[in-house]
Amino acid sequence: MKLARFEIQTGIGAAQIAAAFFFGTTFFGAMVLAAPAASAEEAVDTGPVAPRKPGVWSLTSENDMFGSGSDRNYSNGVRLDHVSAADHVHPGLKWVAARLPWLEVERTDLRQGFGLTHAIFTPEDITRADPDPLDRPYAGWLAMSATVVATDDTTIDTLQVNLGVVGPSAGGEFVQNNWHKMLGIPGAQGWSHQLEDEPGIEIIAQRMKRLGKAELPLGLEADFGGHLGAALGNVRTYANTGMTARIGWDLDSGFGPPRIRPALAGAGDFTPGTDEAPWGGYVFVGVDGRAIARDMFLDGNLWRDSARVDDRRDFVGDLQAGVAVHYRDVQVAFTWVSRTEQFAYQRGPQQFGAVSISIAH
């Protein structure tokens, strides 16, 4: 029954999902200008050098304690990831990119990355040993990911593949209850009813494009952009779209701070500050809407009987606002997120926060 339901759900938007899986183009221009010499004795005067486009390590923590102050729904997420320096990628990836008709390799910065993600989902009342059958089930998700990123000055295209496990082997109970023990607070009592072990896969593609930029007084800049994406897999299947607006200094440093998907997110890369301009930062606000065909954390296991909700919402929206600041090779960011109800018996939207630190090298 579950397999049939999954096929029906994913078949609804298969054409749209496949069309959204494109690989994008991007570019951070880099040119060295040399002034002509007046004589053999005169020194050559060089102009601006190309900006650094180094690799970046990022650590992101998302927790509902930053928002609602309680453990419920999406309770906690942690991600460690690395994005390579521009064009420091496997030769096979360059070979594939050069043969994609929409990708102009000559003007595109191509990056590859990897990451490790852990996420925990819990019902509203974690003190019950026998969870409310109308609430969402307990679940843990542990995944490794491979990412490809292509950027230019206005566009970022991201393709991410997550492979992992949902269920007891993901260690959700171990992480949550040992963390609670360290803090001296009671642990969650219903983990014996969590989703069963099941291998999980997500293939996520997203294009984000800056649609406009304005110069303001005091050196400020403002821009806004739109994004379109999709995910396909037994963990999540959805299509999404939305917009983001920013105001601050040095907006060309990146497209946004890293997040754990599904999210309005950059790809974890940014251009560090220079000796002449070491600081940069901005505030941002954005919205994202998702049409959902499958969410294992609400629909339950695909291949095995498990707890699930019978009244999942087909459409979910995120409102986010935050700030990102970088100084030389370090960027820190905070994002506040309000997510609409994901199933009928959920008690209002959920608020959570995301904190990230990124270090270029």
One-character DSSP codes across 88-116: ---HHHHHHHHT-TT--GGG-EEEEEEEE
Q: Please report the DSSP string for 117-159 in residue order.
A: EEEEEE-S-TT-SS--TTSPPPEEEEEEEEEEEEE-SSEEEEE
Tokens of residue 138, six digits = 């307990």
- Residue 35 counted as domain residue: no
44-48, 68-72, 340-344: which has the highest mean pLDDT? 340-344
- Residue 46 counted as domain residue: no
Look at the chain and report how many structural domains it folds into: 1
- Residue 32 counted as domain residue: no
Count of alpha carbons within 13 angstroms of residue 299, beta-carbon side:
21
- pTM listed for this prediction: 0.84
Domain with 12 in it: what CATH number?
A: 2.40.128.140
- Residue 42 counted as domain residue: no
- 173 phi and psi, to 5 degrees? -65, -45
- Residue 246 counted as domain residue: yes
Single-letter residue type at 258 = P
Q: What CA–CA distance (Å, rounded) separates 104 from 85?
A: 18
Q: What CA–CA distance (Å, rounded) separates 336 from 197?
A: 31
- Residue 40 counted as domain residue: no
pLDDT above 60 (res 58):
yes
Chain segment 99-111, per-residue pLDDT in tens: 777 666 777 899 9
Quote the pLDDT of residue 19: 36
90-94, 105-109, 260-264, 318-322: which has the highest mean pLDDT? 318-322
pLDDT above 80 (res 2):
no
Q: What CA–CA distance (Å, rounded) separates 9 from 6?
A: 5
- Residue 230 counted as domain residue: yes
What is the CB neighbour count within 10 angstroms for residue 357? 15
Chain segment 198-243, per-residue pLDDT in tens: 999 999 999 999 998 999 999 999 999 999 999 999 999 999 999 9
- Residue 79 counted as domain residue: yes
- The residue range of the domain holding 168 is 2-26+51-360
Quote the pLDDT of residue 14: 37
